[in-house]
Amino acid sequence: MDQDATRLDDRTALVTGGAAGIGAGIATALARRGAAVVLVDNDETALDRTVAELTQGGCTALGVVADVRERSSTEMMRGAVGELSGGRLDVLVNNVGDHRPWGPFAQTSEEDWTAVYRLNFEHVLRVTRAFLPSMIERRSGSIINVSSVEGLRGVPNCTVYAALKAAVLNFTAGLSTEVGQYGVRVNAIAPDVTDTPQFPLHRLIGPEYHDQIPRWVPLGRFGTPEDHGDVAAFLASDAARWVTGQTIRVDGGTLASPGWFRRDEHRFTNVPRNFI
């Protein structure tokens, strides 16, 4: 293997939720390493902006405005992959997810559970099922699922979300054992404390407390979408050719030093002081 094993030339990737935040960071990292990338998102404005940034930078990128919770979205994705590569998909990144709304489990409804399920797990099954058979047929492919450190620890007021993120991790491990024989690798990343438009930590935490961040995050700062993009690009590449069934915690070390603290009856924080 040559020293440039992280290059993704002549490969096609698809990233759900690719318009902003971690998804955009992953799409950008893949594209800059040579992959042709399909970005799927329901935010048309953000999607157009990110696709334009990539194409203006010399990358090959195509946007698909779709809601991955809808079954019809898979056909739209297939159409875009067909446009870019004749239908060949080498890298699938299941990124869409959200912890909101949060609150005590006893106050949630079955409708709430269904909504969180559709946003965090159902589409992972559907989109993976849509593209996996062709990967098996070609004996090649990389699937990367974006979970969360909350799938690895107990989290108050987000119990259903955390349970579904744990399901993503177990799905990753189980599927990897099924399809490894066909040359298809399946891995996951588990983010934490990442500054994104979806969860703008620097705005949520007052500047007077920023000097406390190193006490919370062992690496001393919040994560960026680029941090996750580089890890995903590694997992997608031949540099990770012997890596499957793994979950990489992209969390700055927070899960290595965990701790939740209760503020009052219904609110919790996992920071050492009352930041939020």
Structure tokens at 70: 């809808």
- Cβ neighbours around 3 below 10 Å, total: 7
Helix (H, G, I), strand (E, B) or coil at 119: helix
25 Ramachandran zone, left/alpha/beta (phi>0; psi -120 to 50) = alpha
Half-sphere exposure of 91 (CA within 13 A, CB side): 34
What is the rounded distance in angstroms from the CA atom of residue 188 to the CA atom of residue 168? Answer: 8
Residue (of 141, 143, 101) closest to 120 by Cα position: 101
What is the rounded distance in angstroms from the CA atom of residue 249 to the CA atom of residue 43? Answer: 27
Distances (CA, A) of 233 to 147, 175, 239: 16, 20, 9
By the 8 A CB rule, do 37 and 59 touch? yes
Residue (of 77, 80, 81) closest to 90 by Cα position: 81
Residue of 117, 161, 182, 209 marked catalytic: 161
Phi, psi of 259 (to 5 degrees): 170, 120
Known catalytic residue at 182? no
**Cα angle 210-212-217, degrees, rounded to a multiple of 5:** 100
Q: What positions carry a catalytic annotation?
A: 161
